[in-house]
Structure 1
Amino acid sequence: MTRDIPLPSLTGKRAVLTGGSDGMGLVIAERLAAAGADLVLPVRNREKGERAARGIRNRHPEARIAVHDLDLASLGSVATFAAVMEDEGMPVHLLVNNAGVMTPPSRQTTVDGHELQFGTNHLGHVALVGHLMPLLKAGGARVVSQVSIAAARGRIAWDDLESERNYDGQRAYAASKIALGLFARELDERSRREGWGVRSVVSHPGVAPTSLLAARPEIGRATDTMGVRVIRWMSARGLLVGTAATAALPALLAATTDDPRSDLLYGPSGVGHLGGAPGTHPLYRPLRDLDEAARVWDTSLELAGVRAGSL
């Protein structure tokens, strides 16, 4: 079974990708640029983003890439980036909500006071979608939101939404991804009802040796976790899990398939959906409740400072 997919020509399409400066995000970025997309890379670390763009251009001299500043842990930064995009006035045809942070050892907050994972993985992307909505509508866009196999379990704790009373890094991470997935589903539902012309789908990369569980001093993790060491060992031997290259494929499939499905999850098709060729499988149970999705939508727009009437 092949572990790669061809991409259609994306010439003339503008694509915005968060988290595109390393790991599977960099693979997604390169594949989109190589297919001809006018690629926008909003990044927290400008130097790292420029380095990633140079590498792609070295391998694909015709690549069109613009690097912009964006910190998803700052709603002000999201609004500033979106304002730059709006000033440019070019429709957005594809948005891939890929960036994220995983399991800080202790509870941390964004500059706006939200729990770091909920604020970055979820609310930052909610704000991005909200602020870019006029450009997404103009482009008849596809929005791909990356969740995680962590979203297969867990729940949104509405009585402690941002883990103020009881912080557990893994539970908070799962909740942030469940929230993003439910928001993505509601986005598709509302677009269909209101005729926005935007399609929204949900993907996940399976398990691969990315930077999520590696040393991240900025979130208080000084060394690689044991989890990422095991994943690297298994990946190098082709055991169950994927690689950065294969982990990128479900999002690329979701971004370019002719028949986007919001009632399915785009992910690896191997054992446990940990690795393997990209395909679709049933939504994880926490992502199936559309009443819960509507509640996430309303709450998230308020927390992200997005006016529902502007959508």
Structure 2
Amino acid sequence: MPRTPIQIDVPDLAGRRAVVTGASDGIGLRIAARLAAAGAEVVLPVRNAAKGQSAIETIRRESPAAQVSLRDLDLSSLDSVSQLAATLVAEGDPVHVLIDNAGVMTPPSRQVTVDGFESQFGTNHLGHFALVAGLLPVLRAGRAQVTSQISVAANSHAMNWADPNWEHGWNGMRAYSQSKIAMGLFALELQRRSEALGWGITSNLAHPGVAPTSLLAARPELGRADDTMGVRVIRLLSARGILVGTPESAALPAVYAATSPDAMPSHFYGPSGAGHLGGAPAEQRLYSRLQSEADAGRVWALSEEMTGVAFGAV
């Protein structure tokens, strides 16, 4: 029996510009579609232009008046991140909503980005760190809400401070957890620094729970030729309405965190169902790995050192 779709109220976003990473499919596409349906002008920075165009067609089928456009972005390349930021800053339009959603998960072996970072840390965290830094002028101009999409994986394992690039003893799941812990710590530190330095940016966190997406599916570009057993089980459970969510429901915590007048800075939103794996969005208890301000400052400094990117004051 089909499950009843979860409904949330999304305010009128007409006149507001939103940027959503990882919106060419899965949860990111559903986030972008919901923002566009509410009237936002939505920018989809994508690595694969064909998938991006397909996403735009999907959004416009659902919302014929949608304002949605593509930009080029490969989060695993700091040069690509810098180029996107320069493009959006040069366009001069304030960014009111930024949802850092894109990510990679557990490739079959350790891989590195073009800049030499462990692929999950480099893409999921460092790429988004550099993007927020590069977009700072237009984020400030829009008094933006920045929502960082983390994961239930941030509630396990730890930062590998001695070897953040996992050059020794690489473990895919531990490295993935680290990337999401770092992303969460950064988001909380962004709010603290925005308040201290008067940037006018609001930063909070969301997680989608568990839903069938391409994260664990066949990804030849990552060396994964076939779907994992994990994604096959998730698809089965989702289709039967058991425990986990759908891409549509999994998108809602980030949409809520980024748009609801009730969503708060530095707060954390995710599904409210059993194990927080599915269900309607609600506030969550902040994971223990994200509660140390000292760790957040350390992640910020480490990220600046590794990327060579610093946040300006303008």
TM-score range, shorter chain: over 0.9
**Residues 144-193 of structure 1, C-alpha deviations (whole Å, 9 max, x = no match):** 00000000111101001110011000000000000000000000011111
Q: Distance in 2 between matches of 1:14 and 1:291?
A: 33
**Residues 220-271 of structure 1, C-alpha deviations (whole Å, 9 max, x = no match):** 1110111111111111111111011100000000011213334432000011
Matched position secondary structure for 2:243: coil
- Partner residue of 1:155? 158
The Cα of 1:200 is off from its aligned counterpart by 0.3
What TM-score results when the alignment is normalised by the length of structure 1?
Answer: 0.98
Matched position secondary structure for 1:106: coil
- Partner residue of 2:23? 20
Alignment RMSD (CA, Å): 1.2
Contact map agreement 2:158 2:181 (CA 8 A) in 1: yes
Structure 2 residue 257 is the aligned partner of structure 1 residue 254: yes
- Partner residue of 2:40? 37
Matched position secondary structure for 2:226: coil
Structure 2 residue 222 is the aligned partner of structure 1 residue 223: no
- Partner residue of 1:180? 183
The amino acid across from 2:245 in the alignment is G
Q: Distance in 1 between matches of 2:229 and 2:142?
A: 43
- Partner residue of 1:142? 145
Gaps of 5+ in 2: none
Q: How many positions carry a matched residue from both structures?
A: 311
Contact map agreement 1:3 1:278 (CA 8 A) in 2: no
Q: Distance in 2 between matches of 1:109 and 1:228?
A: 24
Instruction: Please show how residues 144-293 of structure 1 align to structure 2 within 5 Å.
Output: 144-293=147-296
The Cα of 1:129 is off from its aligned counterpart by 0.1
Contact map agreement 2:139 2:201 (CA 8 A) in 1: yes
Contact map agreement 2:211 2:235 (CA 8 A) in 1: yes
2:106 aligned to 103, 106, 121, which one?
103
Structure 2 residue 54 is the aligned partner of structure 1 residue 67: no
The amino acid across from 1:42 in the alignment is P
1:306 aligned to 279, 303, 309, which one?
309
Contact map agreement 1:201 1:254 (CA 8 A) in 2: yes
Q: Distance in 1 between matches of 2:151 and 2:188?
A: 15
Q: Distance in 1 between matches of 2:159 and 2:134?
A: 24
The amino acid across from 1:256 in the alignment is T
Matched position secondary structure for 1:160: coil
The Cα of 1:302 is off from its aligned counterpart by 2.4
The Cα of 1:299 is off from its aligned counterpart by 1.1
- Partner residue of 2:87? 84
The Cα of 1:4 is off from its aligned counterpart by 1.9
Contact map agreement 1:107 1:116 (CA 8 A) in 2: yes
Contact map agreement 2:136 2:311 (CA 8 A) in 1: no
Structure 2 residue 117 is the aligned partner of structure 1 residue 114: yes
Amino-acid identity (%) = 59
Contact map agreement 2:20 2:42 (CA 8 A) in 1: yes
Gaps of 5+ in 1: none
- Cα 1:142/1:263, change in 2 over 3 Å: closer
The amino acid across from 2:161 in the alignment is W
**Residues 275-308 of structure 1, C-alpha deviations (whole Å, 9 max, x = no match):** 1111011111101111100111111122222124
Q: Distance in 2 between matches of 1:140 and 1:247?
A: 26
- Partner residue of 1:56? 59
Q: Distance in 1 between matches of 2:74 and 2:311?
A: 23
Q: Distance in 2 between matches of 1:309 and 1:141?
A: 16
- Cα 1:310/1:115, change in 2 over 3 Å: farther
